């Protein structure tokens, strides 16, 4: 069946609980992290099938930097990512273009982008679709 772990990264406790509940009702195990550093550490120890990442987090190593770390780390770069954010998709995509690691190379776009608050049904469909692609 493959990897059944999904990493949920959000600094807001209520949103972590909501997203984790959707993950678990979709038949997966939710691994929670409240900031980018914790997310990278947990993913590095035990790479998940999928990451659901909030963009607007208070620490300097926020969601956009965390996204960049996932995409530029050889061990983690293939893990699909769903971005969950209060900011518009266009704003996020502009931000990752500014953070591209080398001149001329661009960070790949996330596999999915959802604005907050997420719809549980839509999130569940994305989880099933993207985690199936990995196994």
96 vs 4, residue with greater confidence: 4
Q: What is the pLDDT of residue 135?
A: 46
Domain ranges, residue 111: 5-134
Q: Are 11 and 2 in contact (CB under 8 A)?
A: no
Would you give the DSSP letter of residue 77?
A: T
Q: How many residues does the chain have?
A: 135
Residue-wise pLDDT for 26-62, tens only, equals 999 999 999 999 999 999 999 999 999 998 876 655 7
Q: How far apart are CA 75 and CA 62, in angstroms?
A: 20
CATH code, domain with 33? 3.40.50.2300
Report, as an integer, the average pLDDT of 60-85.
89
Query: Total structural domains in the chain?
Result: 1
| All residues at 6 or more sequence positions from 68 whose CB lies less than 8 Å from its CB, including other chains | 96, 99, 101, 107
Average pLDDT for the chain: 89
CA distances from 40 to 32, 33, 96, 105 (A): 11, 9, 18, 22
Phi first, then psi: what are they for 106, rounded to 5°?
A: -120, 140
- Which residues are 50's β-sheet partners? 6
pLDDT above 90: residue 95: no
Q: How far is CA 126 from the centre of its chain?
A: 12
| pTM of the predicted model as reported, rounded to 2 decimal places | 0.91
Q: How far apart are CA 135 and CA 131, in angstroms?
A: 7
């Amino acid at each position: 069946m493959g990897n059944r772990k999904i990493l949920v990264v959000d600094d807001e406790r209520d949103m972590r609980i909501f997203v984790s509940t959707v993950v678990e009702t979709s038949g997966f195990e939710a691994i929670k992290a409240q900031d980018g550093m914790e997310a990278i550490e947990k993913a590095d120890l035990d790479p998940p099938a999928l990451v659901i990442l909030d963009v607007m987090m208070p620490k300097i190593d926020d969601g956009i930097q965390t996204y960049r770390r996932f995409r530029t780390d050889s061990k983690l770069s293939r893990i699909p990512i769903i971005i969950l954010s209060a900011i518009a998709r266009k704003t996020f995509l502009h931000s990752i273009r500014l953070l591209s690691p080398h001149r001329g190379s661009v960070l790949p776009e996330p596999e999915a982008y959802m604005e907050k608050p997420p719809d549980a049904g839509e999130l569940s469909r994305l989880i099933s679709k993207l985690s199936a692609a990995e196994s």
